Every structure is written in structure tokens, then in C-alpha cells.
Amino acid sequence: MKILQFLQRLSINAKVGLAYLGFVIITSGAGSLLVVYNEKAVIRQGHIDLVRNLAENTQPVLLVEHRMMLNRLVQTVGKMPDVRSCAIMNKNNLVVAHTDMAMIGRILLIGEPAIGSFKKNEYYFEVFGKQFENIYVPVYSSDRYLGNVFVGFDAPSFVRLFRQPGRAAIESILIVILSTALLGLIGAFIIVRLISYPIRVLTKKVYNVHQGKIPERRLPKSYVYCWEQLDCKQVQCPSYGNKAEKCWAVAGTFCRGKVQGVFAQKIGDCRKCIIFKKNAGDEVAQLNDAFDIMVRDLVYNTEKANEAREDIEKYARQIEKANQENADLKAYTERILNSLSSAVISLDKDMVIRKYNRTAQSLLGLDLERLVGRGISEITQFCSRCNDFFGLILAALATYKEQGKPIIGQEVSVTRADGEPMTISLSVLPLHGDPALEKTPMIVTFEDITEKEKMREELTLSRQLAELGEVAAKVAHDIRNPLNVIAGGVHYLTSKYLNDPEIQNMSNLISGQVERLNSVTSALLKVSKPMMPNFNVCDLNRLIDESSSFLLEEINLAGLILKKDYAKDIPPLFLDANQIQRVVINLIENAMESMPGGGTITLRTRYLQNEGKSDEQVELTVLDTGPGISDEIMDSAFKPFYTTKVHGTGLGLAIVRQIITQHHGQARIRRREPGPGAEVLILLPVKTVQKDRSHVYSSKRPCD
């Protein structure tokens, strides 16, 4: 890094000198390497010739296998320069002579490549690393293979050749170095003179421009003017008579029979012109010329840029002000949208969601942000939890498109993302109020009216109960007294005509109908009278257990199975034990009646916690495996007098709902998933729940 910084500080002359010095060194080194490489090849060829001569001299001695003579030959060769070892082997690869006497009599294995060379009567050359090389030469007598000669040499390395060069190599290297150095110095001097002067001129111009001194436009005395050289008569040409600028630097000239552009556009054509060739000079001179043109254009462009900057700053201030006004308006619109109690979702003309408010996200329980930019049809395909609501929107949009009338205040039932049912008042309106357009942006507004529906249902129920109370009072007065008289008369007839079977049968029939009318009257009175609960601390699981025990015998006789799935974390509750027992017994009896052919009844409890919030609930569920329940029955099951039983009164679930309402809870009925069967859910909110789990009951009763 320091070397690069040092070189950057050098002048052009020094850099060119160093470059040529490097050229001389590299060229000299390359020449020297070539000389040394040639010397290495000569030495290696000498080794090969030596081994071949040894093989020729060995042939008559090896024919008779005269070991003493063979050993003399081996020892003589082994004393020669560069020879590391020498051996002679017979045709069975048995060593008959070796510079190392211990190797005589041993068999040396020769590789397949060497054997292949021997068959062709050729030598085999073998290299071990960079230090050793072995040469094998076969020995033949006519066509008879007698054996082979092996000589190992120290490989001739570049280092060794440089340290111990031959005389011819030294002379060749000196000639290369001296001639290259002389030519390099001459060339460096000439090129430095040709390059450095115009570069110094250009450098001075750059410093002047940096200091704000713009070079004056002045042409050299030797400049050849185009209109004079070419005898041009185009007096309208901007270059005609212009002695301040070179013709190729002037825009809009009339050369080549057409109006040309600026310097950068026409320089390609100008380089072919004789005027350019005579005046432009070499590449460095053209660089000077291009710099002058660049400075001229820079001055012009700077003036225009300053004017443009002032205009841009003016427009920028206007845009910034408009953007701020838009941002304020957008924020104001957002606040208005999020302050609305009604949910709002806006759609563009392609039915793609573009905007929504907080109320919409809260009511649906969905992350609407990830749905922005998606079409309604697309959402219903990839979002299973969105199908219910957005399916309604699709249907409403189809109705609007078909009828051309906005949908306003349509009451529909949907399911939130968490599975909770919800009743909404839905409106689908064109955003611009022009239903005649084929594609119009739409706005969807809806409001949660679930509580209003509940209040309406409760008001209707209260009204029905009030009317029922009047009916019940009249029934109690007008029906029960005659029923008592009828019951007394039947009792008298039964006692008097004990032996008359016809009278006994008729009396039993009348007694049964009297009891049935009396139970209906009692049920009416119970529903119509406001029941005041007597709250006590209760263990819900034990209370359910006790209630179900009253029906165990009937359950067993009916061939049914009773399963219990109680959560262990149910806290003590404030309940009216008698009323809750009545609810449990009523629900179990309904489940038994739905499974005349046998089945399973499951009693299940769960503690629905919600991170300590006030909407925690305790859930009691009664499940059966009967035929299930239809949508029509689910909507009307809790209404008084609604029943699907032949002898039912339709008051059982109405009483259940009344009791649970007085406990500030909720009662629901739905199909069992997975089916078959139905399940009734009883929910008790946390505000009626005593959270002290350390409570110890003083008796075996489920309530204290």
C-alpha cells in the first residue's frame, strides 16, 4: 500500500522512467531464463547420451554377464558429475552391477511404462519431484533383450544453473541485459519528452479552472480554417468566419450536407474530416481540446443549472406545502374514519380492498391490513376464516349489480374469526353515488346489532312472559278448581266401583289427563312468575354430579351411557343450586328423549380464561349423540311453547334460558362437531364467579 502511495506522488517523467526500467528488468530476466532453460535442456540431453553410451558398452559384457567388468563400468559412471546412482540389470530385472554393492543380487521392479518403452527399444525418463531424475535404456543383442541400464541423476535446477552457469550462458545473458537497457533508456527519454509537455499544459489548465480562471478561447497560428481549406460558401454555418473556436466544437455546423449536433454527437464524423486530422494533433492534444470544450459547456450548464435550481427550489416548496396539506387531510380523514362507531371498508372499481377503519377490524376479529390490495373473490379463496363475511359481501355486490339498487340496513348473521356469532346491519353503496357506471368503487358499512337483537328478543320474551302470566293466573283460577273437582269425582268412582273394570279404566284415563293439565298449569306458573335466585358459593362440578345422580337409574334403563369431562380448574361460583339443578336435569332429560335407541350423554365443564380480563367465563356443555338439530329448531328452541315433541309443552328450554339469564349468563344450542348429535352450552361470566379458590366447603353438599 505504501509503495502504491509513493508511486502516485511521482511525476509523469519518473513514472515513465520506472516503467521502462521495469521493462528492462523483465525483458532481461526473461532472456536470462530462456538462456538458462536452454542450458538445462542441453544438460539433460547429455545425461541421456551418457546412459545410451553406457548401454552400448554394456551389451557385449552383459551378453556373457561378466560381473566384474560390469561393476567397473558402473563404478566409473557413478563418479561422473550429477550421477547419483548407477545399475545394470539382466533380463529378469536381477541387479548384476550397482554403485551400491548391497543392491547386487536383488530384483528391481520396473513399471509398465518403462517395459513398454523397452519393447520399442527406446529409453524411459522418470522424474522424482524436482531433485532427482532416472533414465532407463534397454540393452539388446540383435533382437534379443539382455536387460537394461539405469542411471539416477541430480536434476538440473534453475537455482543451480544460476549459481554455476556455463561460460556461453554468461555471455548470452550479458548481451541481452545490455542491449535491452540501452534501447529502453533511449525510448524512455523520447516518450517522456512527447508525453509530459502536453500533460503539464493540461494540468495547468485544470488548476486554473479549479481557481475559477476560465481559459480564453484562442486558436494556434498554424490552425487551418475549414472554410478556407475546403473553399466552403456556407456563410450561414455558425463555424464560418469563427476564429475563436474549432469547427468540431461548434454545434449546428452544415458539414456533410446536413445540420450537425453538438460536439459529442458529431465527433465521430469530424474525425474523418481532413480539417480535424490537420488540426487535432495526437491523443493528448485531443484530450486538451476536449477539456476546453468541457469547460465551456460546464460554464454554460452551470448557469442553466443555477436557474433550474432556483425553479426547483420554488416548485419544491410548493410541493412540500401541498404534501403537508395532503398529509394533514389524510390524517384528518383517518381520524374521522376511525372515530365512526360503524365499520367501514372501501373497495375500488375492481372490488379490491383499499381502506378500512378500526371498528371493522375489531368487529370481524381479522387482520385486515394483510387483506388490503386483494380482491373480495381472492380473499374468499385463500382465507377460510373470511369466507362467512366476505361471502356475504360478494352476494350483496351481485345483488347490487343485478338490481342496480344500493343495499341499506340489511340484517344478516355472520361468524367472527374467533367463531362467535354476530348479527350486523349491512349496507353496500356506490362510493360516488352513480349506479349507472359499469364499474364503480363501493363502500361497505356495517354495524354490530347483536346486543340490540338480544335486547329485542329479551323484550319479546318479557312481553310473552307477561302475557303468559295473565294466562297462567286465569288458568290457575279457571282450570285448577274444576280439575280438583274432577280429580275428587274420579277418586270417588274408583273407590266405589272397585270391581268394575270399565269404570276403573276410564277413571285411570281421566286421572292421567288431569295430572297432565295440572303439570302444564304448574309449568305456566313457574315460567310466568319471576324467579328470585338464592345465590350461594357452589362447586359447579359437584353440583352437576349431584343433579345427574337423580337420573342415573333412568339413564341405565334407557340403555344410555353417561360420560363426565370436568375441568379441574373451575373456581367456586355464586349460584342458585336448586335452579342450576333444574337446568342440568332438564337438559339431561332432553338429551335422553333425543336418543330412544341408545347413545351417549357427555357432561363437560371448561374455564375460559382471557388473560385476566373481565370477560372470562365458565362453560357447561351437555352433548348427546342423537340425530342432531336443524337450523329452524336452533333459532326457536328457547322460545316459550315451541316444541317438536308430541306431548311436549315447549317450556323446558324457556325455563333454562330464564334461569341462566337471571345468573347473568348465556344459553346456546348448536349441532355437534363432528356429529352426529347436538350440544347445549351454558356460559357464566366471570363477574358472577368467586375467584377465591382456597374456599373449603363445610359439608359434603356442593354449595355452602
pLDDT at 129 over 70: no
Cα gap 481→657, rounded to integer Å: 30
CA distance to 285, 594, 605, 624, 662, per residue, from 563 (Å)? 105, 16, 12, 10, 28
Question: Model confidence over 194-220: pLDDT tens digits?
Answer: 666 667 777 777 777 777 777 666 677
* Residues written for the chain: 704
Question: Model confidence over 167-197: pLDDT tens digits?
Answer: 555 666 667 667 776 776 776 667 666 666 6
Cα gap 207→211, rounded to integer Å: 6
CATH number of the structural domain 536-688: 3.30.565.10
Residue in this structure with the C-alpha cell 360503524, named with its chain if needed: 342
C-alpha cell at 246: 474549432
What pLDDT, on a 0 to 100 scale, did the predictor assign at position 693? 46
Q: How many CB atoms lie within 10 A of CB 433?
A: 8
Does this model's pTM top 0.75? no
What pLDDT, on a 0 to 100 scale, did the predictor assign at position 506? 80
Percent of the chain with pLDDT over 90: 4
Question: Model confidence over 613-626: pLDDT tens digits?
Answer: 556 789 999 999 88
What pLDDT, on a 0 to 100 scale, did the predictor assign at position 695? 47
What pLDDT, on a 0 to 100 scale, did the predictor assign at position 594? 85
CATH number of the structural domain 349-448: 3.30.450.20
Across all residues in the chain, what is the average pLDDT?
77
Q: How many CB atoms lie within 10 A of CB 632?
A: 10
What pLDDT, on a 0 to 100 scale, did the predictor assign at position 399? 84
Question: Which residues does 420 contact at the CB level (< 8 Å), separation at least 6?
Answer: 365
The DSSP bridge partners found for residue 622 are 603, 680
Cα distance from N-terminal residue to C-terminal residue, the chain: 92
Cα gap 289→310, rounded to integer Å: 32
CA distance to 545, 694, 695, per residue, from 702 (Å)? 9, 15, 12
Fold agreement between 349-448 and 536-688: no
Nearest 5°: the CA angle 683, 610, 607 is 45
Residue in this structure with the C-alpha cell 274432577, named with its chain if needed: 486
Question: Model confidence over 409-430: pLDDT tens digits?
Answer: 888 888 777 777 788 888 888 8
357 close to 338: Cβ distance less than 8 angstroms: yes
CATH of 4-170, one of 3.30.1380.10, 3.40.50.300, 3.30.450.20, 3.30.365.10: 3.30.450.20
Q: Which of 471, 503, 465, 494 is nearest to 640 (CA)?
A: 465
pLDDT at 508 over 70: yes
Question: Model confidence over 438-463: pLDDT tens digits?
Answer: 678 888 888 888 777 777 766 676 66
Spell out the domain ranges in the chain.
4-170, 349-448, 455-528, 536-688
On the 0-12 / 13-18 / 19+ scale of CB atoms within 10 A, 260 is buried
CA distance to 408, 548, 579, per residue, from 582 (Å)? 44, 10, 5
The DSSP bridge partners found for residue 605 are 620
The DSSP bridge partners found for residue 152 are 85, 134
